[in-house]
Structure 1
Amino acid sequence: MATNEHPNLAITGATGHVGGAVFEHLRDSGLPIRLVVRDAERAPEGARDVAEASFGDRGAATAALRGIDVLFMVSAAESADRLDEHRTFVDAAAAAGVRHVVYTSFLGAAADATFTLARTHWATEQHLRESGMAWTFLRNSFYLDVFPLFAGQEGVIRGPAGDGRVGAVARADVARAAAVVLRDAAAHEGRTYELTGPEALTLSEIARVIAQATGRTTTYEDETLEQAYRSREPYGAPDWQVEAWVSTYTAIAAGELDVVTDDVERLTGTPPLSLADLLRGS
């Protein structure tokens, strides 16, 4: 039986959007919860059990996860060594005796996915499959929340997405779905959920919705690959990051994100938010 000294659920990423929202959903659920964070001082208010560990520190992670039965593993921040960090953390979870990992993956995760970071998610899924632990994968589409940010101060979304469509999902819906899974994790062992919004939109349509909701002129500018790389040169980002940025758009152009499912509604009982809903604050 789980006790406060030996909680059965650990949540990572609680200082971020999704992990923090999942904690809020489950705070009063009666589930004993431990938050695993890099900096305990940034843990959400009201957290009773907090452990410090980074994904890449196997010793600290193993100690932080001892006594845990179910782990909600929010994928690490994007970095050149993200996959190594994921593998280290998964190994730490197995060593600590974790039984089941619920992992935030990506829609269309595959070894040959156009979106480069989806390949990392696929490799992480494979490592979890081989870990001996039970698993559940929440494969979310791109987040609806970031598209207004892509427009920036100029009000222009630029990228080589062509007329491709993306069934982007609100972070809030990913968090709601995750909370449902975590309330009864055993019922979702071995399952993969594809979490999308209610519609697949082109970037031109997304720009139009943003403009209508905000009153700010917002447009989409289709770039060639050459233009996409050149326009991102001033940021001075490393090659892996530039590839990730550009492949965000080329994955849409390739049709790999033109997916709409009812998984959010099936899990939560409520339809997912549209971009217009999100911008209205629904």
Structure 2
Amino acid sequence: MNNPPPTGPENPGAPIVAVTGAGGAVGGRVARRLARAGVPVRLLGRDPSRLPELPGAVAAPPAPYGDGEAMRRALAGAHTLFLVSAHESPYRVREHTTAVDAAVAVGVERIVYVSFLGAAPDATFTFARDHWHTEAHIRAADVRYTFLRDSLYLAGIPAMTGADGVLRGPAGDGRVAAVAHDDIADVAVAVLLADTESDDTRYDAITYDLTGPEAFTLAEAAEELSRVTGRTVTYLPETREEAYASRAQYGAEDWEVAGWVTSYEAIATGEMATVSEAVPDLTGHPATSLAAFLREHPDSYRHLLKTD
């Protein structure tokens, strides 16, 4: 590939933070916060047309994670890489490791990686295993790092609820301390600013669990959705077999359906019940509750208001 190098208003004398997924929900929030703080930002995304226009930021040419040459070109001169995990795919770990290797090759000094709560090689949630393998690769690399292990997104709770008003899955009576995108971004920026504003290494080699302030069952989530929508929303526990059957209509590949189903099963096993103080400790404000999120984001459950 012969992509041109990034060009624009970056201050060559200041540490540059490269933000991947800058057109997305997490990366975009982080990029905007860093730009407001006056940090030189390099915006990375698969589709540069989706990248925001921000003061002090430049857009890198297209650089898919799995394209080592393109990633090296996009990351050249950056001090820190904020690495948002790639879209789920059978090749996700390979894409992550290629991006990490590219960063190390061009001298990136630090990686802040958006991982997942309970990441482990034998995690119930299959996608959490990808995160563990990525973390292991970063740990073995010659680079400073911080891992932000997010719980499920609060926005995912209404999204997982069908237009029929049913939240269904094999989660049993398990609990999940889902977290808001804004809280994740606030934590990420606190961690990133500590190093860009001074020689501050206090977050190096640390893993933070990022969660909401409370762990709730999906039945309790359905009750909260009922309150805000004014209609009856229910939680329907499924067996594994029922979960696969109810999702067959989407025509998704086996690995993707397994990810969907095992995300609920991880709730059932207690792997999602962790409640962490990382959000208030690192940001100085309380973590967002489900009730507060729904009050502030009515668009998240708009599909539930259509009853005809």
Shorter-chain TM band: over 0.9
* 1:4 alignment partner in structure 2: 11
For residues 105-152 of structure 1, give each alpha carbon's deviation from its aligned partner in whole angstroms, at most 9, with x where no partner exists: 001000000000000000000000011111100001000111101112
User: Letter of the aligned partner of 2:215 in structure 1?
Assistant: A
1:26 equivalent in alignment to 2:41: no
For 1:248 and 1:215, how far apart are their aligned partners in 2?
28
Match of 1:136 among 124, 130, 146: 146
Task: Quote the offset at 1:45 in angstroms.
Answer: 2.3
**Superposition TM-score, scaled by structure 2 size:** 0.88
Task: Quote the offset at 1:187 in angstroms.
Answer: 2.7
* 2:6 alignment partner in structure 1: none
User: Letter of the aligned partner of 1:51 in structure 2?
Assistant: A
1:156 equivalent in alignment to 2:166: yes
For 2:130 and 2:271, how far apart are their aligned partners in 1?
16
Match of 1:50 among 52, 56, 59: 59
Task: Quote the offset at 1:37 in angstroms.
Answer: 1.4
For 2:254 and 2:31, how far apart are their aligned partners in 1?
35
User: Letter of the aligned partner of 1:199 in structure 2?
Assistant: E
For 1:216 and 1:188, how far apart are their aligned partners in 2?
45
User: Letter of the aligned partner of 2:203 in structure 1?
Assistant: H
Aligned residues between the structures: 281
Work out the percentage of aligned pairs sharing the same amino acid: 52
Task: Quote the offset at 1:28 in angstroms.
Answer: 2.1
Q: List, as ranges, runs of 4+ consecutive aligned residues in structure 1 with deviation greater than 4 Å.
A: none
1:78 equivalent in alignment to 2:78: no
For 1:135 and 1:183, how far apart are their aligned partners in 2?
14
Match of 1:214 among 212, 229, 248: 229
1:199 equivalent in alignment to 2:214: yes
* 2:182 alignment partner in structure 1: 172
For 1:267 and 1:205, how far apart are their aligned partners in 2?
28
* 1:114 alignment partner in structure 2: 124
Task: Quote the offset at 1:88 in angstroms.
Answer: 0.6
1:101 equivalent in alignment to 2:108: no
**Superposition TM-score, scaled by structure 1 size:** 0.96
Unaligned runs of 5+ in 1: none
Unaligned runs of 5+ in 2: 1-9, 196-200, 298-308
More deviation in 249-258 or 24-33?
A: 24-33
- Report the RMSD for the aligned CA atoms in angstroms: 1.4
For residues 196-232 of structure 1, give each alpha carbon's deviation from its aligned partner in whole angstroms, at most 9, with x where no partner exists: 0000000000111111122232110000111111111
For residues 6-54 of structure 1, give each alpha carbon's deviation from its aligned partner in whole angstroms, at most 9, with x where no partner exists: 7521101110001111111111212111111122221112253110211
Residue 128 of structure 2 aligns to a residue in which SS?
helix
Match of 1:262 among 273, 277, 280: 277
More deviation in 31-40 or 260-269?
A: 31-40
For 1:99 and 1:77, how far apart are their aligned partners in 2?
25
